[in-house]
Chain A
Amino acid sequence: MAQAETTIPPKRELRSVKKKRKRFDEMTYHFMLLPGMVMLFIFSIVPMFGVIMAFQKFIPAKGIFGSKWAGLSNFTYMFQLPDAKQIFINTLVIAVGKIVLGLIVPIVFALLLNEVRLKVFKSSIQTIVYLPHFMSWVVLGTMLTMIFSFDGMINNFLELLGLERIMFLASNDWFRPLLIVTDTWKEFGYGTIVYLAALTAINPALYESAAMDGANRWKQTLHITLPGMFPTIILLGTLSLGNVLNAGFDQVFNLYNPLVYETGDIIDTFVYRMGLINMQYSFATAIGLMKSVISFVLIVISYKLASKYAGYRIF
């Protein structure tokens, strides 16, 4: 007994050992974070300082420190440019369209899928409808261009039905709906995942008691399933607010052409053409900065709302 007691250190010493241990652990954590933080610093934080260009008349040969200041002239030019207003409207219309349709379709699809009892059938449908989410817009863009072209499959069907052929990809009337519908087509399966998870959380006893009361399946859906999904719908709805200026660069870039710039050109594609093709660095950065700031504010607001009304926190 006496021997065993000597191996156990006194309480105070134990505390200092623990403290040392904690300090050592914290050092390890810092080292673990180091490589990632270096990468973020170089490729995310350093470019943030580049927004200075937005307030300059930037000339690459002179660099950020040598170029002349231009005050807010890049921004005032942006507001004077007639294209700018159009591009802002395009971005909003396309993004809001995608958000609304992209919210409704997965809900309806999840409700339909929820009615299926056959597990094999259910899971194979799910596997198939997720698939487009994992394909690139280059691939889908090429496929869709083929299908929606003037002598493509869709137009052949339209002709069979006795309708006129439509220039989907070159028509300013059709281009936006096309973007919204095809984006929803790509993402609805993937969006269903969260709703299906929400559905499995609903207490089955509710359905049983509703059936006792004589509620049919439609009534059960209306009074149990839909209210059960409501918190998730609210959450995803508020979070999507942060994306109002993200109309989807990859998709537009792979589908648009000069004929539909009027309705299809969005902030991101415009910044790309101005900045990297036409080399108007300062002007492009000014527009990009404008978008970043507005988006940032919107995202912060949407997260605040989500945490307040849906108890959502990302960390």
Chain B
Amino acid sequence: MIQSKTLGSRLSRLLIMFTLILITFMSLAPIVNTIMVSISSSTAVNAGRVYFLPVELNFSSYAQILKDTKFWNAFLISVERVVLGGAINMILTILMAYPLSRSISQFRSRNTYMWIIVFTMLFSGGIVPWYMVISKLGLINSIWALVLPGAVPVFNVILLMNFFKGIPKELEEAAFIDGAGPIKILLNIFIPISMPSLATIMLFVIVGHWNNFFDGIILINDSSKIPLQTYLQRLSLTRDQMQNLSVEQLQQYNKISNTTLNSAKILVSMIPILLIYPFLQRYLIHGIVLGAVKE
């Protein structure tokens, strides 16, 4: 590329860099601030003196979390949910994406299935009937209520299906002539070739399960069985209780709530995501773009 080295172009380049750094900083600012709040003293936090550096450094909130059995209980339930729900999601996604990636001449009923699946993605009976079905099945208060209703992530199925479709026909034909059946072709050709796509979907699935708070609110009544995000949600004031509070009372409430401790809890809840994110994120661009936009 030919670039002029005039003063103007250098200046604009500098301006662009500066803008980008500013935007990036803004993306991180709330997180950095929360970290600093969690390791500052409560008095400094309540006085509004904590921005992007710790004030009166202390780690007592983390020490407090270590002893908090309710927090760790919720944490473990979330881990259980991710492992169990993630495994079910991945298996079902692969099992459904493969047959759906076949052409009609290979699999006559393909389009019928496809229409049903897309319809369930676009239309739903709403939250009340959904809740009733789950409660009629007796799933309320069990881990299965968090795992089974979302067992088929339809969007991911379509993503993977489009990726499978892009795999060269020749590979499959060679295996076919060698006498490999669908299961062998799936296990020995499609899955190994689709690792980047599968990594992307895995990231979606893990994050989805880890971040979901809402089904914990309505499907789990027993507070010893709620997942972590629901636990955190309950920490920050039950909103229905706020109905009768005045503005002054709301402010008062914010004062007495333990901001330092809650910040620390929120940060600990982010650790699992921050641990897997760097490993799976590099496949992201590949996975999303290839799966979403079909030529």
Q: Closest CB-CB distance, B120 to chain A, in whole Å?
A: 4
Q: Contact between A153 and B51 (Cβ–Cβ < 8 Å)?
A: yes
> Given A153-B51, A276-B127, does the pair A43, B122 have CB atoms closer than 8 Å?
no
Which residue from chain A places its CB closest to the CB of B267 in the assembled complex?
A139
Asked if A53 meets B129 with Cβ closer than 8 Å, knowing A26-B107, A129-B24, A146-B263, the reply is: yes
Bound Cα distance from A211 to B114, whole angstroms: 48
Residue of B nearest to A194 (CB): B289
B34 within 8 A of A: yes
Select one of B20, B113, B127 contacting A288, CB under 8 A. Answer: B127
Determine whether the beta carbon of A147 is less than 8 Å from that of B251. Answer: no
Asked if A51 is an interface residue, CB under 8 A from chain B, the answer is: yes
Which single residue of chain A is at the shortest CB-CB distance from B121? A44
With A138-B232, A193-B285, A313-B294 as contacts: A32 and B23 at CB distance below 8 Å: no
Complex Cα gap A312–B37 (Å): 47
Interface stretch (choices B54-62, B64-72, B147-155):
B147-155
* A45 B229 Cβ-Cβ under 8 A: no
Closest residue to A279 on the B side, CB-wise? B128
Q: Which residues of A contact B224 (CB under 8 A)?
A: none
Q: Contact check: which of A47, A170, A312 meets B124 at CB < 8 Å?
A: A47
B293:A32 contact, CB within 8 angstroms: no
Q: Is the CB of A143 within 8 A of B96?
A: no
Given A50-B125, A51-B126, A139-B232, decide whether A40 and B117 contact each other with a Cβ distance below 8 A. Answer: yes
Contacts of B110 in A (CB 8 A): 29
How far, in angstroms, from A156 to B128 measured CA to CA in the complex? 43
User: Given A28-B181, A142-B236, do A39 and B152 touch, yes or no (CB 8 Å)?
Assistant: yes
Q: Do B148 and A39 touch across chains, with their CB atoms under 8 A apart?
A: yes
Mark contacts of B246-282 with chain A using CB atoms, 8 A cut-off: 1 yes-contact digit, 0 otherwise: 0100110010000100110010011001000110010
Residues of A within 8 A of B127 (CB): 271-272, 275-276, 284, 288
Q: Please give, as numbers and ranges, the residues of chain B lying within 8 Å of A46 by CB-CB distance.
A: 133
Once the chains bind, are A217 and B239 in contact (CB under 8 Å)? no
B183 at the interface (CB under 8 A from A): yes
The distance from the CB of B79 to the nearest CB of chain A, in whole angstroms, is 15
Q: Which of A28, A112, A134, A284 contacts B128 (CB 8 A)?
A: A284
Interface string of A237-248 (1 = CB under 8 A from B): 000000000000
Q: Are B242 and A257 in contact (CB under 8 A)?
A: yes
Alpha-carbon gap, A254 to B234, bound state (A): 10
Q: How far is the CB of B12 from chain A (nearest CB, A)?
A: 7
Closest CB in chain A relative to B224 CB, distance in Å: 19
- Chain B interface residue bracket vs A: 35 or more
Contacts of A32 in B (CB 8 A): 95-96, 98-99, 182
- CB proximity to B under 8 Å, residues A248-307: 249-250, 253-254, 256-259, 271-272, 275-277, 281, 284-285, 288-289, 291-292, 295-296, 299-300
How far is A22 from B107 in the complex, measured between Cα atoms in Å?
8
Interchain nearest-CB distance for B286 vs A (Å): 9
The CA-CA distance from A48 to B48 in the complex, in Å, is 50
Within 8 A of A (CB), among B33-92: 33-34, 37, 48, 51, 92
Cross-chain contact B113 with A33 (CB below 8 angstroms): yes
8 A Cβ contacts from B92-132 to A: 92, 95-96, 98-100, 102, 106-110, 113-114, 116-118, 120, 122-132
Q: Is the interface of B mostly helix, strand, loop or mixed?
A: helix
Greatest chain A CB density within 10 A among B23, B207, B211, B243 is at B23
Query: In whole Å, how far is B280's beta carbon from the nearest beta carbon of chain A?
Result: 10
Smallest CB-CB separation from A170: which chain B residue?
Answer: B247
Among B13, B20, B240, find the residue whose CB has the most chain A CB atoms closer than 10 A: B20
When the two chains form their complex, are residues B1 and A211 in contact, meaning their CB atoms are under 8 A apart?
A: yes
B292 CB-CB contact with A under 8 Å: yes
| Contact of B239 with A256 in the complex, beta carbons under 8 Å | yes
Closest Cβ of chain A to B91, distance in Å, is 8
Contacts of B229 in A (CB 8 A): 136, 138-139
A196 is an interface residue with CB less than 8 A from chain B: yes
With a 10 A CB-CB cut-off, give which of A35, A36, A146 has the most chain B CB atoms.
Answer: A36
Please, how many angstroms separate the alpha-carbon atoms of A201 and B48 in the complex?
A: 48
Is A144 an interface residue, CB under 8 A from the partner? yes
Is there contact, CB below 8 Å, between A44 and B259?
no
- Nearest residue (CB) in B for A122 is B20
A194 and B288 contacting across the interface, CB-CB below 8 Å: yes
* Given contact pairs A129-B23, A129-B27, A153-B51, A258 touches B242 in the complex (Cβ within 8 A): yes
> Which of A189, A208, A275 has its CB near the most chain B CB atoms (within 10 A)?
A275
Measured in the bound complex, the distance between the Cα atoms of B233 and A145 in whole Å is 12
Interface positions of A (Cβ within 8 A of B): 22, 24-26, 28-30, 32-33, 35-37, 39-40, 42-51, 53, 109, 112-113, 115-116, 125, 127-132, 134-147, 149-153, 156, 167, 170, 185, 189, 193-194, 196-197, 204, 207-208, 211-212, 216-218, 235, 249-250, 253-254, 256-259, 271-272, 275-277, 281, 284-285, 288-289, 291-292, 295-296, 299-300, 312-315
Supply 24 A–B pairs (Cβ within 8 Å), ascending by A. Answer: A22-B106, A29-B99, A43-B148, A47-B130, A47-B133, A50-B125, A51-B129, A125-B20, A127-B281, A130-B284, A138-B211, A139-B269, A146-B34, A156-B51, A194-B288, A254-B236, A257-B242, A275-B131, A285-B128, A288-B126, A288-B128, A299-B122, A312-B294, A315-B162
Top 4 nearest A-B pairs (CB, nearest first) are: A50-B129, A288-B126, A136-B211, A47-B125
